[in-house]
Structure 1
Amino acid sequence: MLLQEKMRQAKLAPAERSVIDYLLLYPDAVKQVTIKQLADKTYVHPSTFIRVAKKLGFDGWLDLKSAYLEELDYINSHFGDIDANLPFSSNDSIMTIAQKLAKLEQTTIEDSLSLIHHNSLEHAKKLLHEANTIKIFGSNVNTLISRDFILKMRRLKKNVTISNIDGEQAYESVNTDEKTCVILISYTGENAMILKVAEILQTTGAKMIGITSIGDNKLTEAVDCVLNITTRERLYSKIANFTINTSICYLLDVLYAVVFAENYHHNLDQLIKIGTRFDTRPTTSAIIAEPKSSCS
């Protein structure tokens, strides 16, 4: 749930509600004025802002202000000239559709990058690098998206599996330990199966990375580390999961890349060595062909 929605739904006293109404109506004012000036504008005592912040789960007004401005900045950035749900219209030509989808994917990656925080990515890299086993849990297309990540990680000699058989997720969850890192993928962060897996994993000592939407949700609260998916699409009134799928692919590629970089030269040499020995695909393209020094 976005902070703005949480603010709208919170049960507050009349004076506290007036504060929220003002913040939602005049979001830009938050950047420019002090808490005393805001209190004067809303005809409440400054302490009201602190009470509101605590009721919304923050330590104080400055934490609420920072989170609110960060959310506003995210919502107002990128995607200004393209609709994630309906990126093209019925009147568009095929080349216009191709151009708009290219723009959509470029914007999605920029948007996803803006959601990555250094400390979270560093934490995720550490969990994956130190794990003896990596397991992925997702539903529907998320399990398909993950297969390329699994293939690449296995080439680095990482033991990565995915649980995609309905009814087996609980058994897979129980069979983990503190040397297992689990990646849980859910756009809403409220998927019942994923949350049940997270509940079981909390008892086994396994480490958890959550890939989910921005804002508060149950998955975010359950995992050790969160990476956020571009959060622009509605649940079903859309053409397809274009931005969700692109964002998940990008985040998984980033995770693979940062793990690869931990032993960059060793991993690269290993991939080239194996490719030289077993990749015998013919090509007539000079661009694709390997240099002779790599094939000798």
Structure 2
Amino acid sequence: MSILISLQHPTDFTSTEKRISAYILAHLNQMPTLRIKDLAAKTYTSHSTIVRLTQKLGYHGFRDFQQALTAEIATQQHQSTTVDANFPFSDNDSVQTISAKMATLTINAIQTAQQQLDTAQLAQAANLLMQANRIFIFAQGDSQLRARSFQNKLVKINRFAIIADEYADEAWNAANLTTEDCAFIISYAGTTSVHQQFAAYFADHQIPLLVLTGNPQSPLLAQATTQLLTVQSEYNFAKIGTFASQAAFEYVLDSLFATMYAQDFHANLQNLQAKQQLLQAGPLTTKER
């Protein structure tokens, strides 16, 4: 996960660690050259406390953490011009300006998602779905549109997913899952009560659960076997549309599909060529002759 997101959304920080985190976020411009003894003095803490915090974030020590944070800050500074994810355009903007802002918003959302993507978790998610007997995707609203796009791609590698929320059959579908299957919850807020209810059931019955969310505080994460997280600067309310979150979800799901495809790339490519022959010039063609 992004260092900045981890600092902004602490899950298991002590009060002292939260004070260090708050200072770092408020003085990012100083971080590339700040010495650990100066950070300790500014936050009224000790060297060992700072090192423990950096290790909790996945780094060996302060220097390792400082270098990674400096690189992340530099990447953000070189991103395209910032566009408000909630209100990316105004009534005074020309059509050209609106289209340019939407392009920038999409680029920024994907760049942010790429920086946050945990590739180890992505590989684990791909393995989970490839090993599952059946895949049940739980998603509502805009997230269900992304789920349908992912479902469509899976057909190309002979994997078939069920949209569990379709026709209000989500409870029946949840009841039918076994330990040989995989549940996949896609929810940006990650707070839907019925999804929390299902996640608890899956955990109690050792049913593998993959969660894709934009909320690092989502209660679903505690129940997940594997998690994919992409946090965007988008509100759960007061916005024109879910542009950033859905662009990020599409990118993550595309990356997940590509990882699954690459596990048996040559066999999948041969299968593609054989199926194309059937569909384009064989007995399954639907083209007029």
Report the TM-score when normalising by structure 2.
0.78
User: Structure 1 stretch 198-207 or stretch 132-141: which is displaced more?
Assistant: 198-207
Distance in 2, Cα, partners of 1:19 & 1:253: 36
Q: Say whether the 8 Å CA contact 2:209–2:224 is kept in structure 1.
A: yes
- How much has 1:11 moved relative to structure 2? 7.6
Identify if the C-alpha distance between structure 1 residues 205 and 93 changes in structure 2 by more than 3 Å, giving closer, same or farther. Answer: same
Identify if the C-alpha distance between structure 1 residues 77 and 205 changes in structure 2 by more than 3 Å, giving closer, same or farther. Answer: farther
Identify if the C-alpha distance between structure 1 residues 121 and 238 changes in structure 2 by more than 3 Å, giving closer, same or farther. Answer: same
CA deviation map 1:100-136 (0-9, x unaligned): 2223223322322222232122111111111111110
CA deviation map 1:214-236 (0-9, x unaligned): 63432222212222235121112
Q: Say whether the 8 Å CA contact 1:8–1:20 is kept in structure 2.
A: no
**Secondary structure of 2:28's match?**
coil
Identify if the C-alpha distance between structure 1 residues 237 and 75 changes in structure 2 by more than 3 Å, giving closer, same or farther. Answer: farther
Q: Say whether the 8 Å CA contact 1:137–1:184 is kept in structure 2.
A: yes
Structure-2 residue corresponding to 1:32? 33
Structure-2 residue corresponding to 1:265? 269
Letter in 2 for 1:202: A
Q: Which runs of 5+ in 2 are unaligned?
A: none
Structure-1 residue corresponding to 2:88? 87
- How much has 1:240 moved relative to structure 2? 0.5
Distance in 2, Cα, partners of 1:186 & 1:159: 20
Q: Say whether the 8 Å CA contact 1:153–1:256 is kept in structure 2.
A: yes
- How much has 1:139 moved relative to structure 2? 1.7
Q: Say whether the 8 Å CA contact 2:23–2:43 is kept in structure 1.
A: yes
Are residues 1:280 and 2:286 paired?
yes
Identify if the C-alpha distance between structure 1 residues 258 and 41 changes in structure 2 by more than 3 Å, giving closer, same or farther. Answer: closer
Structure-2 residue corresponding to 1:291? none
Distance in 2, Cα, partners of 1:116 & 1:8: 18
Identify if the C-alpha distance between structure 1 residues 69 and 189 changes in structure 2 by more than 3 Å, giving closer, same or farther. Answer: farther
Q: Say whether the 8 Å CA contact 2:184–2:209 is kept in structure 1.
A: yes
Are residues 1:110 and 2:114 paired?
no
Alignment of 1:191-202 (within 5 A): 191-202=192-203
Identity %: 24
Provide the aligned length of Structure 1 versus Structure 2.
Answer: 279
Q: Say whether the 8 Å CA contact 1:214–1:231 is kept in structure 2.
A: no
User: Structure 1 stretch 110-119 or stretch 166-175: which is displaced more?
Assistant: 166-175
Letter in 1 for 2:242: N
Letter in 2 for 1:249: E
Distance in 2, Cα, partners of 1:178 & 1:190: 24
Structure-2 residue corresponding to 1:126? 127
- How much has 1:212 moved relative to structure 2? 1.0
**Secondary structure of 1:266's match?**
helix
Letter in 1 for 2:286: T
Q: Say whether the 8 Å CA contact 1:134–1:160 is kept in structure 2.
A: yes
Q: Which runs of 5+ in 1 are unaligned?
A: 283-294
Identify if the C-alpha distance between structure 1 residues 254 and 22 changes in structure 2 by more than 3 Å, giving closer, same or farther. Answer: closer
Structure-1 residue corresponding to 2:176? 175
Name the larger-Rg structure.
1
CA deviation map 1:167-204 (0-9, x unaligned): 64333223212221221111122222222221111123
Identify if the C-alpha distance between structure 1 residues 2 and 217 changes in structure 2 by more than 3 Å, giving closer, same or farther. Answer: farther
Structure-2 residue corresponding to 1:290? none
Letter in 1 for 2:279: G
Structure-1 residue corresponding to 2:246? 245
Distance in 2, Cα, partners of 1:93 & 1:210: 39
Q: Say whether the 8 Å CA contact 1:185–1:211 is kept in structure 2.
A: yes
**Secondary structure of 2:182's match?**
strand
Distance in 1, Cα, partners of 2:170 & 2:70: 35
Q: Say whether the 8 Å CA contact 1:85–1:237 is kept in structure 2.
A: yes
Letter in 1 for 2:233: R
CA deviation map 1:135-166 (0-9, x unaligned): 10112221122112212313432131011148
